[in-house]
Amino acid sequence: MLLTTLTNLAHRAIAPRTIAHAHCDLPCGVYDPAQARLEAESVKACMEKHNASDDHDFKARAISIKEERSHLVKEHLWVLWTDYFKPPHFAAYPDLNTLFNDATKLAGAGGTKGTTDVAVADQLLAKIDEISEIFWATKKA
């Protein structure tokens, strides 16, 4: 009896007084598609510099940086896709999964990671802009 009473008191003492609910993992303000866009702009700039150069070593460095930045684009998109957007968002925007899939593929080996074609970087930036529009629309709701 005494043990049960002490246990109940301990549970009440450490139980949260207020329970917070959020649509994302952390309070709003930590997610932003601008992070993916910034990296994608860097990818495009690396491609342009690569394509304008005749220096083999410079071109190799541009490729290396472009590939690193392409991977960062994917990581930033994945965080938005998996952590920020929730079932109500996907219900309101039924093409959102396809949009994210297309965007991450454009940042992958079949996209900016595997080419120096600036048009592919422009396609990636356009997809990020679409994601950004939806993101900001959900923030207003």
Domains of the chain by residue range? 30-140
For 76-86, write each residue's pLDDT tens digit.
Answer: 999 999 999 99
The CATH H-level superfamily of 30-140 is: Nickel-containing superoxide dismutase (1.20.120.400)
Predicted model pTM: 0.80
pLDDT band at 141 (very low <50, low <70, confident <90, very high): confident
pLDDT band at 20 (very low <50, low <70, confident <90, very high): low
Average pLDDT over the chain, rounded to whole?
89
Token couple for 117: 């074609």
Does pLDDT of 53 surpass 90?
yes
State the pLDDT at residue 27.
54
